[in-house]
Structure 1
Amino acid sequence: MAHSRLFLRLFSSVLLVVVLFSSAYYLLSVPLVKEKAYQIELDASRTILDNVHEMVGRIRSNIEEQRTTIIETFKSEMRARVALAAGYIDYVLDRHERGEITRAEAERLIYDGLRAFRTGKDDYIWLTNYDAVLLSHADPDWIGQSAAELQDQQGRYIVPTIIERARREGEGYHTYPWKRPGSETAADPRAQKMSYFRDLKRHGLVIGAGAYLDDMDAVIERRMGEAIEDLRQALRNIRIARTGYVYIFDSTRRMLIHPNSNIEGTAFGDLRDPSTGAFIGEALMRAAHENRYLRYLWDKPSDPNNYAYEKITWVRHEPGLDWYIASSVYEEELRSSSTELGNRLFAVSLVIMAVGGGLGYFGARRLVSPLRRLADTAAQVRAGNLDARSGIVRNDEIGDLAATFDGMVRRVKDDIATLDSRVKERTAALENAEARQRLILDAIPAAIAYLDAHERLRFVNRRWSELPHTRRGHVLGRRLREALTADAYDHLSPALKRARTGETTVFEYTVDLGGRPLITRNTVLPQQGAEGAVLGFFVLTLDVTDETERQRHLEEAERLKAVGQLAGGLAHDFNNLLTIILGNLAVARERFADLDELNGYLEPAQRASRRGADITARLLAFSRRQPLKPQPVEVCTLMRETAVLLRRSLPASIALATPGPEDAAWAVADPMQLENALVNLALNGRDAMPDGGTLTIAVRPCADPAAGDFDEPPAAGRYVEIQVRDTGNGFAPGAAARAFEPFFTTKALGSGLGLSMVYGFVKQSGGYIRIDSAPRAGTSITLLLPEGEAPIPDDTPGPVTAGALPSGCRGMLALVVEDDDDVRLVLRQQLIGLGLSVIEASSGEEAMELAGQIEDLRLVVSDIVMPGVSGLTLARHLRATRPEVQVILVSGFSTEEHGEAEGLVILGKPWEKSELAAAIRLPADA
């Protein structure tokens, strides 16, 4: 084979190609690679400098933010100290005004007390009157002295200026020069001070507290020093190439940070470039402003005083701090890596030449054989080159083999082309289906995720990635523990464990969104294979916050409704009992009026019975069964009139704010019950502010209000919003939820019926109510009542006040219908006492029978609620058969419940005898 001319030609050709390729590779690539490597090193040094520059910029931003925060902190502390001191002064002077202490004792207590309000070494509270006489000061020499003539450098009067601003603005801040304790000059320009002042108009005083700006700057300088030290430690760990480093100097060319601690703090403005004689500091600053690098000659630690080594420096300027950040590196260090890379590439070229020559030798030997050509062709086909052909044309077995091989490759190429076309079609169809599926899943109002058996996320829709308890960023392929917050994963992990057993699990998880809860219902469904093994999990998350809130409101409304029904039933039974008690007490007082000693016992019993009637009225109000007379009422006027009465019940320490004369809002409600509700709420607010505060009653029209936290979602429409706010102690946690329950109270002597009465009145009036409260943050109670229209003035004269029973009614025959024997007896006695003749019936059926038989019957007094025939049915029957008979109905419930009784006289239990007499007289007067 070595003597074959074909072999020699092939080998020589291969060897020549290898040599030419290696030479071209070295000559064309090595210089370029070396230059690129050098440029990369140079860019790396600049990138490091840019990163340090960015770090310094962040430090500057943080320092500026901290400066703002520190100043605001000092201001907040001054406001807090002045507020405490003002409260203390009010307290002491109030004691003086009440006569508990003398004026001198009050001034001594104020002076001693204000000295205790010091928080820093030079911070104190000062007090002056409107004449600029200092009444309290840290320097005893100033106390009682006038500061009216004290001026700053611009000739402005310091203390009079503060007093004038305080009286005009009420409070504010003022900066002025003032000496520190121990200083000799009062107005020292080196001791600028900021004071917060407040006008105590009630006492004719101005109080203030100050802080020296030097103290604020000292805190900022300390923070700045800490930041510089952190930066120094970071820069000492940075290396560019082998010995390059980063340093920082300021505009005065003083070295601030340098890896060599001996150089830090020194000035290098007089150092010159040995090659040009230019000042290096100035050249560095110019390079920073021109955004270019600087070259200059310098020595090496290993070769001192030999300024023959070229250095390259990038410089950046930080204007906020007036710093210059520079990176310094020897150029030969930057080029060392490129030189080393060039040498390695040269060695690689030699290796390629040697390897290429050897491969060419062996390849030439193998290529001389047609079989080798077929093998090479087969190798190309196997590598994916289906266009490869052997090219062998012979009329022997090898030629047949080559022709057969080439035909097979051709057919394989055609089959693969057909298969590729079908694969592309199927791939496009799958991509379209997946896009449609993702569009559908993203549009579903639920968060969906799919996990594989190893709890790695393989799919999430858009809503899942927006959940607040998921981590932002790319999550596909990550474990669920890494994609969720720790708390969310702890809640989901038990459900995943149960899902591994094939169980579908549903649970709720709540996330706190800055004080507002987000409630989610999560369902974990396992995906099982043919043999029952769990292949993955579907996690479905729904936002059920609104659903849960609606359910809570519904349950609360149902609970209050049940309590109201129970309260209404109790009130009805108690009204029957109180009717019997009050009726018999009234009869006893009439019959034994000459027994003063007995009347002394009867009067307290009657008062107690009336208080019981008031309690049942409150229960009826809560159960929405109190009698109401809804009508258009101007709420703002009603509140202003009510405020006149309230101010007599409120201490002087409580300020009352009501709508102004220009405000007006009409609502549909019972004016008397609305006034009672407002008085109840105002007195509750008074009890919640034992130390004083502000009670505000506000009114505004409201159209289609949001659901908020009302007892139930308001229906669409126009309302009048009434809000009663106090600045008192507020409700304890959990107490607000039970505030509307009857007999629930947080006061030692409270009855627990005030808010329940307000609740019942609002609901009976077709309105809504809400409580907003927090401990020590005050309480706000909001009422929504239907909006009304101003009525048209009516000049019709009102009813005439009732007098005694007319003599024409005496001897008239009356029928008493009552299933309760004791109540029937009371009615009978009262009617007889009024001069009427009385017959009785214990049921509606019996009354109907008697009314049909007695022609002289002129009056029927009947209970409404009775077994069998009710009072309403009896009244309708008498209207149809005996229209001349007057019917009076009595009820332990509200007369509003019996809409069918419109036009009839209805007395509520318990009633007074005078009310019964007035009711009997009404038909004669009509």
Structure 2
Amino acid sequence: MIRSPLFLRLFSAILISLGLFSAAAYVFSVPFIEEKAYEIERDASRTILDNVFELVSRIRGGLEEQRSTTVESYKTRLRDVLELAVGYIEHVHARADRGEITAEEARREAMEGLHAFRYGNGDYVWAIGYDSVILSHPSPDYQGRKSDDLRDNLGRHILPTIVATAKREGEGFQTYPWWRPNGDERAPKLSFFKDLPKRGIIVGTGAYLADVDAEVERRKAEAIEDLRQALRKLRIARTGYLYIFDSANRMIIHPNSNIEGTAFGDRLNSATGRPIAEDLKAAAARGEPLTYLWDKPDDPGNYAYEKISWVRHFEGFDWYIASSVYVDELRKSSVVLGNRILAIGMALMAAGSLLGYIAVRRLVWPLRRLADTAAQVRAGDLGAQSGIRRGDEIGLLASAFDGMVRQLRDTVATLDSRVRDRTAALAEAETRQRVILDAIPASIAGLDRDGRLTFANLRWAELVGRDKAEVIGRDLAAVVGRRAMAVLRPHLDRCLSGEVVTFEYAFPRDGRDIVTKTTLIPHRGEGGAEDGAVTGLFVLTLDITDEKQTERQLVEAQRLKAVGQLSGGLAHDFNNLLSIIIGNLAAAREHYATVKGLDAYLEPAQRAGRRGADITARLLAFSRQQPLKPEPIELCGLLRDMAVLLRRSFPSSIAIGVPEEGRECWTIADQTQLENALVNLAINARDAMPGGGRLDIAVGIRRVEDTLSFDEPVRPDDYLEIRVSDTGTGFTPEALARAVEPFFTTKALGSGLGLSMVYGFVKQSRGYLRIDSRPGEGTAVTLLLPRAEPVARLLDAEAATVEPLGGGWSGQLALVAEDNDDVRQVMRQQLVDLGFSVVEAASGDEAAELVEQIDGLSLLVSDIVMPGLSGVELARRARLLRPDMRVVLVSGFTVEYGDIPADAVILSKPWDKRDLVAAIGHAAQPAPA
């Protein structure tokens, strides 16, 4: 039956059909793309870096030990192999000893038999005679070869050296260069050989040391992989990590596997402009951490985040081991599915119909039934059967055909079910992808080479102010306009040429400028290969308006801080000068009061000195260096009291609104400076309303949970909000930008220090300030100060009795510590006028010695800032030696010098004699319990 031509033809057709089906099913595939994500956590630790460094050192030591162990293992194996070979040689020669074969036959059989001794990585056994002729070698090129041209790297003969060593010591090891099998280069080889004097030959075997090195390299690779796995699991703080790179700036180990093996030497440190890798190496050489600015995964390209790295150089591998920590991700996923199943069923049906048609033409009438049945099947009736029941080839053919139809019906049903399932899955995946794209906080779109939009998510459509369905298929220029297209065209051309382009673009919308950061990514055909043609591009746009605003505010705050530092330094120097001027003018007026006409000159000079002191106080307020005494303040009551005074001094055309009675709002600040700040704001409002208007001072509690836009970002907390608003002329944009600069004023007779003082006081009180103003619409100044819990009201009991001017101090001994000679002279004279005997010291160290040496000191007056020992430390030492001594500390501005003694009194520069008397009187009071 197998040889029947009819059977063979039909059976071959069935096999072909089944083969086509199997091949089609085999090549069907569905690709998937999965996302990757990693996080970076911050705050690295030097201890962890040292531990990793020690671990690498141990790995290095382990590899050296492993190499020694491996070499010893190879030597042991060489001994074992050679013992087998020697045993074989002795076995063959034993036959000659028994007379079974001749000695020459035994020698030839033994040498030929050694060719079969192959093991390891192509290693073999060789034999040489005492004349250094190779007797046995697996390579015909060396068989019978003499040693004349076989030399080592130093030109010494290899084989004679082996012969001499073997005859002298019986056996031994030797390393020499030798050709690898089927190789053109020589490699170091370690051989073990043994003298067989009874047979007159030397037998040896060897292994290439490169195999040993390869084993060590394999162990090294395993150790590096173990280290890589350990470092990938290691986190320092929240996002910090460890990484390793070599001296060629190639990343060896990094938590991000995409970076491993790549060179990052072209990446620059934005702070120095030098390659970041070189800065890391320099830091390792110095043994100091490297601080630099870097971007974050959720803010790529914005190199504004501070990062710290500790780096150590491991010379054994020439590695640099570094820790990296951030001081303050977009997740993308995509799934692509395909379906190519429907054609399989069509191909099977066409093949079955064609083969059936050919069979009908080649067979006799009994096959017509099969042809009719095949026609029904071709028409789609997969339930049709021929009904032929015969025992010959036609019957077998009919039976096979009916079975094929049934199988085809089941296959089509299965394929239809799969197609329905895959179609539903594709629809669900497309819907899910559309929802994800619309939910991503970024604007995403796609363009073809002609500039037509192929897709866009909801945020991109909202960005251009269009409906999402409206923009798909339209030209980009028609959507964004010609003006925007003129800006975008050069970037689009660069991207279509194959370059990834990132740029910023600003445009007006709803009355404000929107700043965006856009990245154009080329889309390539032919599977996306680098050399594939660019068929379109993807657009990724982020709204960075808030980030730009924050950046501008930060720059402005830094500028004002620099101006404040300069102003504070100048004010401190002027305070010393004014102390001398005011003190000497007061002394002159007191001592020469009888000189006729002198007072007319001294009075204006004293007023000018006090005016200068007021200016320096305002400069110190702006520079945040004025001495403050923060305390809980009930602000609403304070404002109501202030309103009474303001209504009396302001024109009746100005209405004043303050918080109503019965309401309390508490904050922590210096009450005097807060009153001065509010009065300054009220006076500015009055001057801005020459024709009258309304001044409102509103107070409320404000809880900040998200970042607010003030002079700098507001940290989340509870604050007391003070809003001073007027209906005056307002600021121009130019004037508003410089409103808090010292000496800037819009008034003809203004000093330009009012708002500067307010700004400095607010910042020194850990608060925030914002000015909202438009020309002709008035101004609103908002202050945020730390909120305080209500405290019990105390009676105004600075009722501790202050000693009267010059009262009871005659004959007492005072110590004056001041590094400025003129200031010290003024202080000395005023104390002498008050009845004190005065001892002077030009430094804190000198004053400390005088405190130890002189008995009877009752008063210490010391400048805070002096060379050597500071005034605060001097006061602390004096208290330890003389607990009853009064202490008055003199300062031109607020600085951090540790804890000031609780009963020490601060006297601000410049001062007059009344200030000094009050300070001494307060210093006499007991310290609060």
| Shorter-chain TM-score tier | 0.5 to 0.7
- Give the drift of 1:630: 2.9
Letter of the aligned partner of 2:469 in structure 1? G
Instruction: Deviation per CA, 1:578-612: give whole Å up to 9, x if none.
Output: 11111111121122111132221111111111111
Aligned twin of 1:447: 443
- Give the drift of 1:758: 1.1
The two structures, once aligned, show a CA RMSD in angstroms of 3.8
- Partner Cα distance (1:791, 1:695) in 2: 30
2:918 counterpart of 1:918: yes
Aligned twin of 1:781: 781
Secondary structure of the residue aligned to 1:698 is strand
CA contact (8 A) 1:864 1:891 kept: yes
- Partner Cα distance (2:851, 2:815) in 1: 8
2:580 counterpart of 1:571: no
- Give the drift of 1:386: 8.9
- Give the drift of 1:833: 1.9
Aligned twin of 1:99: none
Q: 1:807 to 1:548 in 2, by over 3 A?
A: closer
2:489 counterpart of 1:506: no
Secondary structure of the residue aligned to 1:735 is helix
2:671 counterpart of 1:675: no
- Give the drift of 1:553: 2.7
Letter of the aligned partner of 1:581 in structure 2? I
CA contact (8 A) 1:575 1:613 kept: yes
- Give the drift of 1:534: 2.0
Secondary structure of the residue aligned to 1:619 is helix
Aligned twin of 1:482: 478
- Consecutive unaligned residues in structure 1, runs of 5 or more: 1-380
- Partner Cα distance (2:352, 2:781) in 1: 81
- Partner Cα distance (1:735, 1:695) in 2: 21
- Partner Cα distance (1:821, 1:524) in 2: 69
- Partner Cα distance (1:725, 1:388) in 2: 97
Aligned twin of 1:327: none
Aligned twin of 1:321: none
CA contact (8 A) 2:630 2:668 kept: yes
Instruction: Deviation per CA, 1:854-901: give whole Å up to 9, x if none.
Output: 223332211111122111111111122232433221111138876434
CA contact (8 A) 1:665 1:720 kept: yes
Q: 1:453 to 1:426 in 2, by over 3 A?
A: farther
Q: 1:721 to 1:797 in 2, by over 3 A?
A: closer
2:553 counterpart of 1:557: no
Aligned twin of 1:643: 643
- Give the drift of 1:778: 1.0
Q: 1:807 to 1:639 in 2, by over 3 A?
A: closer
Q: 1:433 to 1:591 in 2, by over 3 A?
A: same
Secondary structure of the residue aligned to 1:474 is helix
Q: 1:890 to 1:757 in 2, by over 3 A?
A: same
Secondary structure of the residue aligned to 1:473 is helix
- Partner Cα distance (1:730, 1:797) in 2: 43
Aligned twin of 2:732: 732
Greater shift in the superposed pair: 735-744 or 607-616? 735-744
Written as runs of structure 1 = structure 2, the 5 A alignment for 1:73-112 is none
Aligned twin of 1:178: none
- Partner Cα distance (1:804, 1:524) in 2: 80
- Partner Cα distance (1:688, 1:798) in 2: 38
2:488 counterpart of 1:492: yes
Aligned twin of 2:399: none
Written as runs of structure 1 = structure 2, the 5 A alignment for 1:697-708 is 697-704=697-704, 707-708=707-708
CA contact (8 A) 1:815 1:841 kept: yes
CA contact (8 A) 2:700 2:722 kept: yes
Q: 1:797 to 1:759 in 2, by over 3 A?
A: closer
- Partner Cα distance (1:774, 1:732) in 2: 6
Aligned twin of 2:240: none
- Partner Cα distance (1:467, 1:713) in 2: 26
| 1:459 aligned to which of 451, 455, 460 | 455
Q: 1:531 to 1:666 in 2, by over 3 A?
A: closer
| 2:511 aligned to which of 508, 515, 530 | 515
- Give the drift of 1:385: 9.9
- Give the drift of 1:730: 0.8
2:594 counterpart of 1:598: no
CA contact (8 A) 2:518 2:541 kept: yes
Greater shift in the superposed pair: 795-804 or 607-616? 795-804
- Partner Cα distance (1:437, 1:795) in 2: 70
Letter of the aligned partner of 1:712 in structure 2? E
Count matched residues: 547
Instruction: Deviation per CA, 1:661-700: give whole Å up to 9, x if none.
Output: 3544333333322222222111111211222222222223
Aligned twin of 1:68: none
- Partner Cα distance (1:495, 1:384) in 2: 57
- Partner Cα distance (1:908, 1:514) in 2: 52
Letter of the aligned partner of 1:758 in structure 2? V
Secondary structure of the residue aligned to 1:627 is coil
In the superposition, the TM-score normalised over structure 1's length comes to 0.54
Q: 1:435 to 1:789 in 2, by over 3 A?
A: closer
Secondary structure of the residue aligned to 2:604 is helix
Q: 1:384 to 1:693 in 2, by over 3 A?
A: farther
Instruction: Deviation per CA, 1:332-374: give whole Å up to 9, x if none.
Output: xxxxxxxxxxxxxxxxxxxxxxxxxxxxxxxxxxxxxxxxxxx
Instruction: Deviation per CA, 1:444-498: give whole Å up to 9, x if none.
Output: 2211112122222222223222324445533222222233344443433232122
Letter of the aligned partner of 2:880 in structure 1? A
- Give the drift of 1:403: 6.3
- Partner Cα distance (1:471, 1:799) in 2: 74
Secondary structure of the residue aligned to 1:785 is strand
Aligned twin of 1:752: 752
Greater shift in the superposed pair: 834-843 or 622-631? 622-631
- Partner Cα distance (2:728, 2:924) in 1: 55
Letter of the aligned partner of 2:802 in structure 1? A
Instruction: Deviation per CA, 1:24-72: give whole Å up to 9, x if none.
Output: xxxxxxxxxxxxxxxxxxxxxxxxxxxxxxxxxxxxxxxxxxxxxxxxx
In the superposition, the TM-score normalised over structure 2's length comes to 0.54
- Consecutive unaligned residues in structure 2, runs of 5 or more: 1-348, 381-403
Q: 1:820 to 1:785 in 2, by over 3 A?
A: same
- Partner Cα distance (1:683, 1:836) in 2: 44
2:534 counterpart of 1:538: no
Q: 1:464 to 1:922 in 2, by over 3 A?
A: closer
- Give the drift of 1:768: 2.0
Aligned twin of 2:821: 821
- Partner Cα distance (2:587, 2:730) in 1: 48
- Partner Cα distance (2:373, 2:477) in 1: 56
- Partner Cα distance (2:354, 2:781) in 1: 85
Aligned twin of 1:586: 586
Greater shift in the superposed pair: 671-680 or 793-802? 793-802
Aligned twin of 2:522: 526
- Partner Cα distance (2:639, 2:436) in 1: 56
Written as runs of structure 1 = structure 2, the 5 A alignment for 1:316-395 is none
Q: 1:498 to 1:818 in 2, by over 3 A?
A: same
Letter of the aligned partner of 1:774 in structure 2? R
CA contact (8 A) 1:451 1:536 kept: yes
**Percent same amino acid at aligned positions?**
55
Letter of the aligned partner of 2:488 in structure 1? L
Q: 1:563 to 1:576 in 2, by over 3 A?
A: same
Aligned twin of 1:184: none
CA contact (8 A) 1:740 1:755 kept: yes
Aligned twin of 2:862: 862
Secondary structure of the residue aligned to 2:859 is strand
- Give the drift of 1:853: 1.8
- Partner Cα distance (1:634, 1:646) in 2: 19
Letter of the aligned partner of 1:548 in structure 2? K
Q: 1:805 to 1:475 in 2, by over 3 A?
A: closer
- Give the drift of 1:411: 13
Aligned twin of 1:306: none
